[in-house]
Amino acid sequence: MRHVPEPDRIEWIARMRERARLDAEELVPRPPFAVFGLAVPPLGPGALAEHEQVNGAWSSIALAYGDWAEPGGPWVIVTTAAGETGARDLDGKAGLLRAIDHERNRMASQAGIDEDEPGEPPDYYGTDLAVGGETVRGLAARHGNVWAARVLAGGLTVTVAGRGVDPAAVRLDPVHDLAPYLRGRGEMLGQLTEHHRRQPPPVLAPAEGLAAYHALAEVALGSQAQLVETLRAGRLPRYRADAGATYHALWQRAVREQARLSGTDERQADEVVTRVINHVTHLQEQAPWFTARARLREAAIDETLRYSVMGEDVPSSPAQQAWARYWARHLTFQEPDAAPQADREAGDPLLSAWRQAWAFWAAGR
């Protein structure tokens, strides 16, 4: 997993606006497959919420309706998926639970509202969903105040998630013109922009020099550990409302400290921060002793920072140099149709040398 700085929320929204403009040129004239939207209950104009491409072809389109910022709704999002994406989404109970997790993450990232995990397990049940004038049997789940249902209709996977709406009352019909939904997305992005402009910046505990790096590294490592744990459980990682803004602020502070300590500009400083954070997160991924032995974990982080930030000679210098060689190659090497990252890294001689150097260091402590 590669760690990069979190984008500023306003910058992200600006990029989404540009993406919406480009999408309009392709989506509006000819939807690539039948797309379903909410017909009943009437929740007002919809908006294009999400979309996905596979090998350059549209594979998934999600249309949203209702109040995006209200935990009680009403809110419904309808996702139509085709091809490989649709086949992947037909994932039974796990797929429904991920849809619910995704909806809770949306509420945190868009509305800034954290929803606690319900104490009771999800309730799964068979359901009938009205899709395009037909009644289709599928599977549904409710977890707290959020529900999701999924059916196979006309060779397409249709997933509906909502809150504040009775799922039995939902009826879906084909959408023949996506232009209003693209305009709706523009309006929603405008509302999101104003919402996030009003949010105060996160307040960080004071930290300078290596302490600023330590604070960022701990958050990055914690986020990575949570990601691994939730993926193993078949869940989506839960986002907290302030997590992105806090990570962005921590990253930018570390960049400023790196620039101050080294006398370089912020672009060069950002490159150093990126290399360092990816170094320690790779250690957590690939060195068992890093998570099993707290003393070695803290020493490895400390030496990595002292070597990379302060230029000190440390006992792990051979491992630090091995990482620098790997990272320099990583930034310039692009392999078309490459195997999955884990498979590539398993046989990478530069990473093997890096692992061996750290193993030698750990064995001597």
135 in a domain, yes or no? yes
CB neighbours (10 Å) of residue 217?
A: 24
Q: Which of 110-119, 175-184, 311-320, 338-347 ranks highest by mean pLDDT? A: 311-320
204 in a domain, yes or no? no
Average pLDDT over residues 148-174: 94
What is the percent of the chain where pLDDT is above 90?
61
Sheet (strand 171-175) strand order: 35-40, 171-175, 123-131, 134-143, 146-153, 156-163, 75-81, 57-66, 47-54
Q: What is the mean pLDDT of the chain?
A: 86
43 in a domain, yes or no? yes
CA distance 280 to 148: 38
One domain for residues 161 and 54: yes
The more confident residue out of 194 and 97 is 97
Can you give 13-47 as a three-state secondary structure string? HHHHHHHHHHHHHHHCCCCCCCEEEEEECCCCCCE
Residue 17 has pLDDT above 80, yes or no: no
Cis peptide before 41 (omega within 30 of 0): yes
Residue 309: HSE in the Cβ half-sphere, 13 Å Cα cutoff: 27
One domain for residues 216 and 182: no
pLDDT score recorded for residue 339: 45
Average pLDDT over residues 38-57: 87
Given a contact cutoff of 8 angstroms between Cβ atoms, the answer to whether 241 and 114 are in contact is: yes
25-39, 198-212, 264-278, 299-313: which has the minimum mean pLDDT?
25-39
CA nearest neighbour of 66 among 195, 191, 244: 191
pLDDT score recorded for residue 340: 46
One domain for residues 172 and 225: no
Average pLDDT over residues 189-212: 86
Burial 96-108 (b: 16+ CB within 10 A, else e): bbbbbbbbbbbbb
Q: How many domains, in total, are found in the chain?
A: 2
Summarised one tens digit per residue, pLDDT across range 84-101 is 665 555 568 888 999 999
pLDDT score recorded for residue 332: 75
96-105, 113-122, 324-333: which has the minimum mean pLDDT?
324-333
One domain for residues 146 and 270: no
Question: Which of 172, 195, 218 lies at the terminal end of a domain, its last residue?
Answer: 195
CA distance 150 to 93: 10
One domain for residues 307 and 170: no
One domain for residues 190 and 218: no
Task: Name residues whose C-beta falls within 8 Å of residue 145's C-beta, 6 or more positions apart in sequence.
Answer: 71, 72, 115, 163, 164
Looking at residue 6, the DSSP 8-state letter turns out to be: P
Burial 32-64 (b: 16+ CB within 10 A, else e): ebbbbbbbeeebeebbbbebeeeeeebbbbbbb
CA nearest neighbour of 99 among 122, 116, 66, 83: 122
pLDDT score recorded for residue 31: 61
Question: H-helix or E-strand containing 343?
Answer: helix 341-346
Residue 12 has pLDDT above 80, yes or no: no
One domain for residues 221 and 245: yes
Given a contact cutoff of 8 angstroms between Cβ atoms, the answer to whether 76 and 165 are in contact is: yes
13 in a domain, yes or no? yes
2 in a domain, yes or no? no
pLDDT score recorded for residue 337: 43
One domain for residues 163 and 15: yes
Q: How confident is the model at residue 193 (pLDDT cuts 50, 70, 90)?
A: confident
CA distance 114 to 71: 10
Please report, in angstroms and rounded to a whole number, the separation of the first and last CA atoms in the chain: 28
pLDDT score recorded for residue 13: 56
Cis peptide before 336 (omega within 30 of 0): no
Q: Which domain holds residue 157?
A: 9-195
The more confident residue out of 304 and 44 is 304
One domain for residues 72 and 104: yes
CA distance 48 to 187: 10
User: How is 95-107 classified by DSSP, letter by letter?
Assistant: HHHHHHHHHHHHI
User: How is 45-107 classified by DSSP, letter by letter?
Assistant: S-EEEEEEEETTEEEEEEEEEE-TT-TT--EEEEEEE-HHHHHHH--HHHHHHHHHHHHHHHI
Q: Which two tokens stand for residue 244?
A: 């992105």
One domain for residues 271 and 358: yes
Summarised one tens digit per residue, pLDDT across range 239-286 is 888 888 899 999 999 999 999 999 999 999 999 999 999 999 999 999
Question: H-helix or E-strand containing 171?
Answer: strand 171-175
CA distance 361 to 354: 11
203 in a domain, yes or no? no
| CA angle 301–303–309, rounded 5-degree value | 95
Residue 221 has pLDDT above 90, yes or no: yes
Unique residue bearing structure tokens 């977890």: 143
